[in-house]
Amino acid sequence: MDNLNFRHLYYFWVIARDGSIARAAENLSLTPQTLSGQLATFESALGNALFRRANRSLQLTDFGQTVFSYADEMFQTAQALTDVLRQPPENRPLSLSVGIAASIHKLIAYHLTAPALSLSREVRLNCRTGDTTELLKRLGQRELDIVLTDRQPASAEAGQFRSHRLASSSMSLFAAPDLAASLSADFPASLDRQPFLATSLDAPYISALMNWFSSQNIRVKVVAEVDDSALIKVFGREGLGYFAAPTAISEEVCRQYRVVHVASIQEVRDNLYAVTRARGGYNAAVAELLLERPELDDKIENTEQ
């Protein structure tokens, strides 16, 4: 960094972009002699030639091409930032970095984040999925603006974060049509020893669902543990077993994965929260995500059997 003069780097970038010192000097409002001297000073500081002359034109050396690739990214980004800063504050795009717990179903995650994208201002959305603990760590380090999760922060973290309730949906069971037909008769006893597709993630609703199975004297036959909510639905579509998903998205699950809604279990719920830092404000996009979503509460769809 001691040898890197950013004005010289900018001059080099313009020369490489324009293809000649004469054209670059005109664009920079400098004399060709001055610009040539600045380039020579920069090459001397770096200890390597950036250009070679070929048929009265300048060509980048291998070293020059490497430097140019970094400079081009830097100054393109700087230009984009300049364009944003020239806009009135109310027209500038909003930045929204969202952490989404891997245990949240992907369709639910979409419903929770989509409202922010419908604002009148442009929103640049960046989503990261992962374990809630790791996402909260990144939230505390200001790498994220908000975390969407199915559990509240631990009491030890209560002073650092604020938890906002968004929705609470009962859970439903789904299966491919043939399997669903056999499970619907004499429910819930029909579930006994039938193939079940379980999530391998530590989702709170899974513990509640297992307790419900036990209360109904249902012996659970787990045929696969999957840590991806979309993949578990694909397995279900192929008839490998039945699976659980929030009742709130039952219509979409049935339509997208061509499965059938078997039954809703009101005693088992999927609770959804937004977590923000306890101190500091947030922009309009984050504020939109903090609104409760009653349309996701106990929404039982009349799906085709």
Domains of the chain are 6-86 (1.10.10.10), 91-167+272-294 (3.40.190.10), 169-270 (3.40.190.10)
Residues 214, 107, 277, CA angle at the centre, nearest 5°? 90
pLDDT of residue 84: 60
pLDDT in tens, 91-101: 677 889 999 99
User: How many alpha carbons lie under 13 Å from residue 46 in its C-beta half-sphere?
Assistant: 20
Asked if residue 87 has pLDDT above 70, the reply is no
- Name the token pair of 188: 């819930």
Q: Do the beta carbons of residue 216 and residue 266 sit within 8 Å?
A: no
Q: Do the beta carbons of residue 201 and residue 103 sit within 8 Å?
A: yes
Q: Three-class SS of residue 179?
A: helix
Long-range contact pairs involving 28-35 (C-beta distance under 8 Å, separation at least 24): 35/11
pLDDT of residue 89: 66
**Residue whose token pair is 């949240």:** 104
**Short-list 111, 110, 234, 103, CA closest to 174:** 234
Asked if residue 305 has pLDDT above 50, the reply is no
Strand partners, 148: 100, 274
Tell me, rounded to whole angstroms, the distance of Cα 64 from its chain centroid: 36
**Short-list 111, 109, 108, 89, CA closest to 284:** 89
pLDDT in tens, 107-160: 999 999 999 998 888 899 999 999 999 999 999 888 899 999 999 887 656 678
What is the secondary structure of 81-123 as a DSSP string?
Answer: HHHHHHS-GGGSPEEEEEEEETTS-HHHHHHHHGGGGGSSS-E
pLDDT of residue 203: 87
pLDDT in tens, 158-192: 678 999 999 999 999 999 999 999 999 899 999 99
Alpha-helical (H) ranges within the chain are 6-18, 21-28, 32-46, 62-86, 106-113, 132-140, 177-184, 204-215, 229-237, 250-257, 284-289
Measured between alpha carbons, how far is 247 from 110 in angstroms, rounded to an integer?
Answer: 15
Measured between alpha carbons, how far is 249 from 296 in angstroms, rounded to an integer?
Answer: 8
The four Cα atoms 135, 141, 144, 148 give a dihedral, to 10 degrees, of: 40
Asked if residue 226 has pLDDT above 50, the reply is yes
pLDDT of residue 211: 95
Total-model pTM: 0.67
- Burial of 205 from C-beta contacts in 10 A (0-12 / 13-18 / 19+): buried
